[in-house]
Amino acid sequence: MNNHEIDYTIFGEEMQYVEVELDPQESVIAEPGAFMMMQDDISMQTLFGDGSNQQNGLLGKLFNAGKRLLVGENLFMTAFTNQGAQKRTVSFASPYPGKIVPLDLSQLGGKVICQKDAFLCAAKGVSIGIEFQKKLGTGLFGGEGFIMEKIEGDGMAFLHASGFVKEIYLTPGETLKIDTGCIVGFTGAINYDIQFVGGIKNTLFGGEGLFFATLSGSGKVWIQSLPVSRLAARILSFGAFHRKEEGSILGGIGNILDGDGWK
């Protein structure tokens, strides 16, 4: 393997974290802010880019870091290395309720494409780059723009998703239609496109947008039940407007009882 070989355990149900076990001199890379805890003898080093072997020289590092800016990620990542003589562990937590998805890239064709904010951590040597959408319509109406994140290598990587996560295996000739925000990631052989919902009533009153994604080909797809953008929009809507009454009998009385009536 070209990437460091790490072992791991995922803890929790709705608020998960992953504990990575490192042999001496093994390393794992993570997004800033993902760190939760670690044992003694593990050192932290800030990297310009993802620390993969693809960064040769200053120009390569700048190019790699620039790609991370395009997908909305931080210029820097943090490498955690076991400097001791025994196995040590370091843990990383998901930033919102949901599930952590482990990816063994050696078993997935060496490449997974995911949403721009889905990456959590990976074995050192795994490359995190960008995947341009080749079709104009996909880029304009896909909800994720022209750019998605690309994870390549032969080691372990971990994504985080919101809500419940379902893993689906598509066979040749099979197509899956899905809300663009519900896509966590898919393997490199999957084709990603956009399809118009169709129908005047569906367009005006369906409430699901004008387009949905179509995934086809042969490979694995990971789907999340509650995109964090949808959750955030719902929370903002409650904060921007007066809440709905809790029933026709209580009405404003209920607001007074819980304190809203005194504001």
For the segment 103-122, what is each residue's pLDDT rounded down to a tens digit? 999 999 999 999 888 999 99
**70 in any annotated domain:** yes
The token duo for 79 is 């490498």
- Banded pLDDT at 67 (limits 50, 70, 90): low
Query: Who has greater pLDDT, 236 or 23?
Result: 23
**259 in any annotated domain:** no
**258 in any annotated domain:** no
Query: Who has greater pLDDT, 118 or 66?
Result: 118
Specify the pLDDT at position 204: 47
Which domain covers residue 74, as residue numbers? 7-240
Average pLDDT in the 13-17 region? 90
Lowest mean pLDDT among 42-51, 93-102, 111-120: 42-51
DSSP bridge pairs for 242: none
**260 in any annotated domain:** no
- Residue 251 pLDDT more than 60? no
Specify the pLDDT at position 245: 47
- Residue 248 pLDDT more than 60? no
Report the alpha-carbon distance of residue 55 to residue 61 in Å, rounded: 5
Number of domains composing the chain: 1
Specify the pLDDT at position 131: 81
- Banded pLDDT at 18 (limits 50, 70, 90): very high
Specify the pLDDT at position 84: 96
**257 in any annotated domain:** no
Average pLDDT in the 28-56 region? 84
- Residue 180 pLDDT more than 60? yes
Whole-number mean pLDDT of the chain?
79
**247 in any annotated domain:** no
- Banded pLDDT at 141 (limits 50, 70, 90): very low
- Residue 69 pLDDT more than 90? no
Q: What is the pLDDT of residues 185-228, one digit of tens each?
A: 999 999 988 777 655 544 444 445 567 788 999 999 999 998 87
Contact in structure between 153 and 52 (CB atoms under 8 Å): yes
- pTM score: 0.78
**125 in any annotated domain:** yes
Specify the pLDDT at position 145: 46
CB atoms within 10 A of CB 245: 13
Q: Write out 155-223 in H/E/C secondary structure.
A: CEEEEEEECCEEEEEECCCCEEEECHHHEEEEECCCEEEEEECCCHHHHHHCCCCCEEEEEECCEEEEE
Specify the pLDDT at position 195: 76
**CATH code, 217:** 3.60.160.10
**246 in any annotated domain:** no
